[in-house]
Amino acid sequence: MKYLSVGTDQLFAELYQPIKNGNPKPTGGLWATEYDPKYPNYNVWVEFLSIQPHILFYKRTNGNPFLTPASLLTLNDDTKIFKLENQYQLDFLKKYYPSADNWIDFEKLSQDYDCLYIDIMLLYRDITPEEKYKIAEFTVSTLLIFNLDCIKHYQKAEVDIEPFDYEYEHEFSRYCINVDSQLHAISKSDDQITELINRIKKEESKTLPNIEQLLQEKYGEILTNFIAEFKLKNASTEHPETLKQLLIRHISRSI
């Protein structure tokens, strides 16, 4: 099975966000949805985006929001995926990977599994109303990747969505998913980001109220230089501001 991750067509270990618990959804990781090569222009998440275009504008801060980069992921055969499809499996997670708020400790789960797959359609048939409310936050059936090493390779892709015409509400929006044939490996992290994080750790307290604002103000030059070197080294076409925001988020989680 292949999976489509929408938002970037370049995957770098340096910018990967570690999993952080949330109720109901965690943050971080790499999010994706199933992609069937037999139906190359259908994807459940892209389908949702095409009828909820405000999300496209919220996620994309530069360029055309209806023309969005994506990555088609192929996982290793031995990838450990926990499939969450019924009440029994949900109870198992809440029992053996419990959080303090009677939900799932995603951080602990990530130590034993490479991914979590949540099948919303199957779960909805079998769980309590309160649990349905939580699961609904995931919106569509989702693969949450904890460990980038489980990705065998990826292909650059592009999602092209035709804006929805509200004047003709009986018509469905249209889109196409264009996938490049070239296979790419995820770039490995190097010492640059580690050195940057250590410099900040030495100078700033972990209890600062707004670490992202502080980083913007005090480390703008460092971040700018890092982005320039990063783009040159990796031949990255990501917008500099996008890379900068990802780097800031990564550092703020590491302090």
Residue 143 lies in a domain: yes
Q: Which one-letter DSSP state was computed for residue 207?
A: T
Examine the fold and report which residue of 179, 205, 232 is the final residue of a domain before the chain moves on. Answer: 179
- pTM for the whole thing? 0.82
Low-confidence ranges of the chain (pLDDT < 70): 58-63, 164-172, 189-190, 192-194, 197, 200-219, 249-255
Are 112 and 166 part of one and the same domain?
A: yes
Are 14 and 58 part of one and the same domain?
A: yes
Are 159 and 205 part of one and the same domain?
A: no
Structure confidence at residue 162 (pLDDT): 83
Element (H, E) at 202: helix 191-203
Residue 145 lies in a domain: yes
Say how many domains are in the chain. 2
Are 74 and 199 part of one and the same domain?
A: no
Element (H, E) at 99: none
Are 174 and 200 part of one and the same domain?
A: no
Structure confidence at residue 174 (pLDDT): 83
Exposed/middle/buried for residue 231 (C-beta within 10 Å: 0-12, 13-18, 19+): middle
DSSP assignment string, 170-191: TSPP-EEEEE-S--BPPBPP-H
Per the structure, the complete domain to which residue 158 belongs is given by 2-179
Are 160 and 235 part of one and the same domain?
A: no
Are 233 and 149 part of one and the same domain?
A: no
Are 62 and 141 part of one and the same domain?
A: yes
Structure confidence at residue 178 (pLDDT): 96
Are 160 and 234 part of one and the same domain?
A: no
Are 52 and 79 part of one and the same domain?
A: yes
Are 110 and 234 part of one and the same domain?
A: no
Are 16 and 136 part of one and the same domain?
A: yes
Residue 186 lies in a domain: no
